[in-house]
Amino acid sequence: MPDVTETHKGASTSTNGTVVKLDRGFPLVRCCDGAHVRCEHATSLEKNERVRAVIGDDVEVFLPEGHDKGVIVAIAKRRTSFVRRDPAERTSHQVLAANFDLVIIAEPIVGLNRNRLERELVLAHQTGADVAVVLTKADLAQDEQEAQNVCEQVRALAGRSVGVCAMSLEDGESIQAVRDLIGDGRVAVLIGKSGVGKSSLVNVLAEAEVQGVGAVRDRDGKGRHTTVDRVMVELPGGGCVVDMPGVRGLGMWDADEGLGAAFADVDELAQSCRFRDCKHIDEPGCAVREAVEAGELAQARLDSYRSLAAEIQSVRERRDEARRLRGEKASDRKKRKR
Ligand code: GDP
Ligand code: ZN
């Protein structure tokens, strides 16, 4: 992909484009005529801290005459978006990517972390896109049987709507399966903890060295977080993939729908609880706890559900409280002005 800012010649114009790269510099926008332009945000957007273009955003760009940068003047409503709680600021959120069709969750086939996977599934479902799980490093499984068992467990956990496949770098067929999952003309974002093999997967899909493998990219030498490259990589067979390195924490934000989709088994049982707002803790007539007692639902599954539900609730309460305080301060300021 060309990464040059072509100085715009001729009269000022406006165009539409997509943010295809985010790094330390200005967002790189691919304009609808195919040109790539580094862009700054218009001051009207700058004023609002929350409004920043993210990878995948469709933007309207103003190209001032003779200027080497474009100006993002508007960001289109996002079709899908990946949102998490801001790790640095408990009462705000971060959008990590927008307008993708599929979230691919990468988890290692050996040492898969169930709790992490459940968390990833909630946030992935909440985006509004399709969800798939790719189990990486399948060659490290003891044998074929073990690999298949893990796939089956993950299928059972993730539910029917989630595609699951195992892959390893040396197995061409397994890589083709990931390509098929993405599909032609679709954009996939790749999440998963560092070291799971995301960069290797992007490189093998792209048939090029687009991402450094085994590199520590989310901290600088002093242990501080740095801005990390996020780039939309076009795949030779069609489709695009966005790696999201440096996504360390996956804190819940508004994720009620995601929770319901990721825990469809619990959600379905909950339809039969006596109280519509049953928390499945100690309410009478709780069908979910009855299912646990009858051995139809694992206690660990209910524990995960409750803990994620509680996290979503407490984040919401803290955020509402922060908003209320901000609102009070604003009205105090107004009063003082009067
Ligand atoms: P990322 O941090 O998720 O981007 O992970 P990387 O792609 O940097 O990979 C981390 C390590 O896992 C590297 O040493 C890779 O060589 C190794 N790795 C990646 N894919 C596979 C695989 O399919 N099999 C095995 N055995 N190792 C892999
Ligand atoms: Zn209940």
> Between β-strands 130-136 and 70-75, what pairing exists: parallel, antiparallel or unpaired?
unpaired
Atom of ligand 1 nearest to the CA of 140: 26
Q: Is the CB of 190 under 6 A from ligand 1?
A: no
CA-based nearest residue to 237, from 186, 195, 285, 162:
186
- With H, G, I as helix, E, B as strand and everything else as coil, classify residue 333: helix
Superfamily of domain 81-243, CATH level 4: P-loop containing nucleotide triphosphate hydrolases (3.40.50.300)
Tell me the C-alpha distance between 31 and 34, whole Å.
Answer: 5
* DSSP labels, 12-76: -EEEEEEEEEESSSSPEEEETTS-EEEEEEPHHHHTSTT----TT-EEEEEE-TT-SSEEEEEEP
Atom of ligand 1 nearest to the CA of 196: 3
Strand partners for 84: 94
Strand partners for 281: none
Tokens of 25: 């510099």
How far apart are the CA of 196 and the centre of ligand 2, in A?
A: 36
Atom of ligand 1 nearest to the CA of 136: 23
8 A C-beta contact, residue 20 and residue 232? yes
Taking the CA of 306 as reference, the closest ligand is: 2
Give the residue extent of every domain in the chain: 6-75, 81-243, 263-327
How far apart are the CA of 336 and the centre of ligand 1, in A?
A: 59
Q: Is the CB of 176 under 6 A from ligand 1?
A: no
Residue nearest to atom 28 of ligand 1 (CA): 137
pLDDT values of the chain reduced to their tens digit, one per residue, 338 residues: 444 445 455 678 899 999 999 988 899 999 999 999 999 998 888 776 668 899 999 999 999 888 889 999 999 999 999 999 988 887 889 899 999 999 999 999 999 999 999 999 999 999 999 999 999 999 999 999 999 999 999 999 999 899 999 999 999 999 999 999 999 999 999 999 889 999 999 999 999 888 766 554 444 444 444 446 789 999 998 999 998 876 778 999 999 999 999 999 999 999 999 999 999 999 999 999 999 999 999 999 999 999 999 999 999 999 999 888 888 766 666 666 55
Please name the fold of domain 6-75.
OB fold (Dihydrolipoamide Acetyltransferase, E2P) (2.40.50)
Superfamily of domain 263-327, CATH level 4: Probable gtpase engc; domain 3 (1.10.40.50)
